[in-house]
Chain A
């Protein structure tokens, strides 16, 4: 059922779902894991109308991680005023609970996420890349090339079509042709 020759182009996890995008011979397969269910959708290369790339930072993500790290920082600041034991306890709490948010906030604020989106006629696929910016670019180029190739093959004009020159009307005698060069 699953194409054994497909290659993983990208994967992304969010609290809501996990998405994997595969490259197959005829299109991109999007596998979305959600609530212990897997949904498969496909974007055929022949159907692709638009491929985009952009960098986003995610306002909600930055706000939430920023608020959490700031909250734990405040807690640390408050505990630090309670004496030496407070400093230690506050630091432990911050490292255990606040630091992951701070790291998440800073990495997102510095690097952002590169998003490649493929819009077909009937379906779309989204690929996100956290650190591998060059790879995101490559994937963007690769998808464009695959789409171009597939659409050229699928919609190439039939071979028996007559060449354009023969369709041009003959030059009337009244037209003065430039004298042939000597």
Chain B
């Protein structure tokens, strides 16, 4: 969430201060605040026609709340699931699977893909990887960490498949997990064997 939060248009890439229009030009720009140079290419996209909504409906919100990107006087109630833009309750287009800003809603509808456009999801693949690799250190618990890593890897595998990405990494994690399970069982077997021998 934090990624889109503070964003308010073109900034100095070096210190993050928002640049006003008079500082935007092609070529080398020296930031008025941090006085460091950077090279820039400026574009002036015309305003996309906005969805007509009454400007007078002021939605009261907490004083420190973020303002709606389209209605400076309205407090934002959520952010667009696709572009992260802050939107007030007037702009919000909730389609059940998420809230969109008017322009993203138009796009999504035009594309005919009103499927949920997830902006945030759990990355099972990296969880599986970490479990399997850190698990290697704790050989006493191998069957358990191996089982856990295998469980995560199956989820990760499914996720990667849905995304159409390479599944080789997950296959390796699965092999490590199976190795941990088998190795752990061997260690337990050895311990039991050593223990029973000790009793005799």
Q: List 22 A-B contacts (CB under 8 A).
A: A1-B115, A1-B162, A1-B163, A32-B3, A33-B126, A36-B126, A36-B127, A38-B123, A40-B120, A41-B84, A48-B43, A49-B10, A49-B45, A50-B19, A56-B14, A121-B45, A122-B4, A122-B7, A122-B84, A123-B3, A123-B83, A124-B11
**Inter-chain residue pair count (beta carbon < 8 A):** 112
For A32, A38, A50, A155, the residue with the greatest tally of chain B CB atoms inside 10 Å of its CB is: A50
* Closest residue of A by beta carbon distance from B36: A54
When distances are taken between beta carbons in the complex, the residues of chain B under 8 Å from A119 are 9-11
- The reply to whether A46 and B126 form a contact with Cβ atoms under 8 Å apart is no
Count how many chain A residues have C-beta atoms less than 8 Å from C-beta atoms of the other chain: 39
Q: Determine whether A87 belongs to the interface, using a CB cutoff of 8 Å to chain B.
A: no
* Closest residue of B by beta carbon distance from A2: B163
Report the separation of the CA atoms of residues A50 and B39 in the bound assembly, to the nearest whole angstrom: 10
Count how many chain B residues have C-beta atoms less than 8 Å from C-beta atoms of the other chain: 46
Min C-beta distance of B80 to chain A, whole Å: 8
- The reply to whether B164 and A2 form a contact with Cβ atoms under 8 Å apart is yes
Report the separation of the CA atoms of residues A74 and B152 in the bound assembly, to the nearest whole angstrom: 45
- The reply to whether A49 and B123 form a contact with Cβ atoms under 8 Å apart is no
**Which residues of B come within 8 Å of A, CB atoms?**
1, 3-4, 7, 9-11, 13-14, 19, 24, 29, 36-46, 48, 69, 80, 82-85, 101, 115, 117-123, 126-127, 130, 162-165
Report the separation of the CA atoms of residues A39 and B2 in the bound assembly, to the nearest whole angstrom: 10
- The reply to whether A151 and B82 form a contact with Cβ atoms under 8 Å apart is no
* Closest residue of A by beta carbon distance from B130: A36
Report the separation of the CA atoms of residues A39 and B127 in the bound assembly, to the nearest whole angstrom: 16
When distances are taken between beta carbons in the complex, the residues of chain B under 8 Å from A51 are 40-41, 43
